[in-house]
Structure 1
Amino acid sequence: MSLPTLLTQHIVRRPQRIALLQHIAEQGSITRAAKSAGLSYKGAWDAIDELNNLADRPLVERSVGGKGGGGAKLSEEGLRVLRLYQRLQTLQAQLLEASEDAGDLGLLSRLMLRTSARNQLHGKVLTITAQGHNDHVRLELARGLVIEAQITHDSTVRLELEIGTEVVALIKAGWLELYSADQPEDSSTNNLQGIIEHIAIAEDGPSEVRIGLPNGQTLCALAAPFQLAERNLAAGSTVQVRFSSTNVLLGTPL
């Protein structure tokens, strides 16, 4: 099974995050791996979430708590990605030695896009349905989880979307709404069930909520502490995550 195109491109564009896999393999601990990689503990978790979300299967298997902040190891998929990264390091060194114009490499770097959206989920296009000037796009994420996006038809053409196209769904953390699992689903929007893995309380703003999805991907949401209390949401709670199809942005490889 080949790696998703978007994950492979991420390996090329963000080698410092892929290098974290090497540290996890060596250290067996997220805390120690973060220190070796020069990342904060939170930064390491964010990197792992991003990598897992771009893969068909989680790259890192982790256990929360315990001595040293919890254990961690690479899955079989993670080991495959690490081997690819190591091969690419060798090829990159050869390319830099052979390059005649460093400016060309700088141009390529500028053409690669980073985004502020916290949630970046790898998926494939299942269906595209025209709705006036817009298109309704159904996406299959890892392990069969489905979400929907609404974009203009011009965007569909510009991104060259068709059935089977690999995409990244971008959803800002502030666009996610959290409800208790016993609330009826809203048929007009996306509804995903998950487990709250961690809540980071902010002193002067909304709390950051990390949510594990049943397919191994992770969402990050923002919620006011009083909203979490009103809806009886805490770490370990089952939660319903809602977001509009109009708040799902789509990206494709250059």
Structure 2
Amino acid sequence: MSLPTPLSQHIVRRPQRIALLQHIDEQGSITRAAKAAGMSYKAAWDAIDELNNLAARPLVERSAGGRGGGGAQLSDEGRRVLRLYQRLQILQAQVLEEAEDSGDLDLIGRLMLRTSARNQLHGQVTAIHPQGRNDTIELTLPGDLRIQAQITRDSTQRLELQIGTTVVALIKAGWLQLATRDAAVTHGSNCLEARIDEVQEDPHGASELRLSLGSGQTLCAFAEQDWLNTHSLGVGSFVQVTFLPTYVLLGTPA
């Protein structure tokens, strides 16, 4: 899988999210910013989580007691991105005008890719271990968190992976398994410690959890409410998030 540069894709193709950042900067409130940007509160936080995960450093930081509830503020990185976007708007207008004149605009649109994977983690390749027809790719995420992905040798070559390559790790929410902090982890599985930030109960199925990593990146996972109740887990609790290396899909800038 070959992806456009992740954060720049969201900046150029999804200006509503930049508008959300602008409103957060102006109002210091997720609730008000979401309304001003024409988004639901949940959609706004999902957008912020995704942008924070794709950026080298979080763009938005929570702040207690914000105006209007859901307090948050832009980080220095977030403000830098806003300034960058203003310059990109001028360049984008020029490029789109040229592409439209040449008939290449439709082709560019087909080359852009969006994914259904809820979890997108930004990192760098730090090691490649050949294993027969497959390679185990070691990735370092912000905060020095480490995970592994197992892909075919052909995929390694097609993506032109090498030490230092920037990648996006895609993991579907249903592929993540949760365990208590003291539980034994299956050998060979990735394991990250995370804090439960939000629990959305579903009377017809598993609850949806928003988890935060020590790096500031976030994950979406599912857990049965009975399991959470049995282990007295809720908002503020810490859990282990495990997933197999074969469940990690990798993308690189096109």
Q: TM-score, normalised by structure 2?
A: 0.93
**1:180 and 1:105 mapped to 2: Cα distance?**
50
Match of 1:106 in 2: 106
Q: Which deviates more, 8-17 or 187-196?
A: 8-17
Unpaired segments ≥5 residues, structure 2: none
Q: What whole-Å deviation, never above 9, does each CA across 1:198-245 have from its counterpart, x for those lacking one?
A: 001113121110001001000000112112223332111011101111
Contact 2:10 2:17 (C-alpha < 8 Å) held by counterparts = no
* Partner AA of 2:109 in structure 1: S
The code of the aligned residue for 2:233 comes to: L
Higher relative contact order (CA 8 A, sep 6+): 2
Query: What displacement does 1:66 show?
Result: 6.4
Residues 59, 78 of structure 2: 8 Å contact kept: yes
Q: Could you tell me which amino acid in structure 1 is paired with residue 46 of structure 2?
A: D
Answer yes or no: is the 8 Å Cα contact 2:27–2:67 preserved in 1. no
- Cα distance in 1, alignment partners of residues 210 and 220 from structure 2: 5
Aligned residues: 251
Q: Which amino acid aligns with 1:71?
A: G
- TM-score normalized by structure 1? 0.93
Q: Provide the rounded CA distance (Å) in 1 between the counterparts of 2:57 and 2:17.
A: 17
* Residue identity opposite 1:187 in structure 2: H
Aligned residue in 1 for 2:226: 226
Cα gap change, 1:101/1:240 in structure 2, threshold over 3 Å: closer, same or farther? same
Partner residue, 1:177 = 177
Q: Which runs of 5+ in 1 are unaligned?
A: none
Map 1:53-202 onto structure 2 (within 5 A): 53-63=53-63, 68-101=68-101, 103-202=103-202
1:106 Cα deviation after fit: 2.2
Q: State percent identity of aligned pairs.
A: 66
Q: Secondary structure at the match of 2:122?
A: strand
Q: Distance in 1 between matches of 2:111 and 2:201?
A: 36
Query: Counterpart in 2 of 1:212?
Result: 212
CA RMSD, 1 decimal = 1.8
- Deviation, structure 1 residue 185: 3.4
SS in 2 for 1:106: helix
